[in-house]
Amino acid sequence: MTGLLGRCPRCGEGRLFRGVLAVAEHCETCGLDLRGHDAGDGPAVFVILLLGGMMMGLVLWVEFTWEPRWLVHVLLWPPLAIGAAIVMLRALKGILVAQQYRHRSTAYDA
């Protein structure tokens, strides 16, 4: 749950991310070194596959239900896709970093 909330996997209090998606170097509360915790491309692959399928389903549903002008699609889907991708990437990256800490799979366990 700490990874999903973007919190330190050790103490559950400090921030896991220093920005939107960048993992912090260390926890400001307990000092856990987070430099070795890297989610890699795993979350991105899942987000691309899941979000792509969901978005295309929504696009086709909107198109065949209401038949809006093309401008509606241009204005609606890019912001929705970008926002959903950031939320999903942050959640999946946090979960993966928390799992790395829990299973001690990095060289920087302190």
Give the Cβ contact number of residue 91 at 10 Å.
16
Residues of the chain short of pLDDT 50, as ranges, are: 109-110
Question: pLDDT digits over 73-83, tens only?
Answer: 999 999 999 99
Domain ranges of the chain: 2-102
CB 48 within 8 A of CB 88: no
> Given this model, what pLDDT does residue 77 score?
97
User: Are 15 and 97 contacting, i.e. CB atoms less than 8 angstroms apart?
Assistant: no
Residue 23's beta-bridge partner residues? 17
pLDDT score for 109: 46
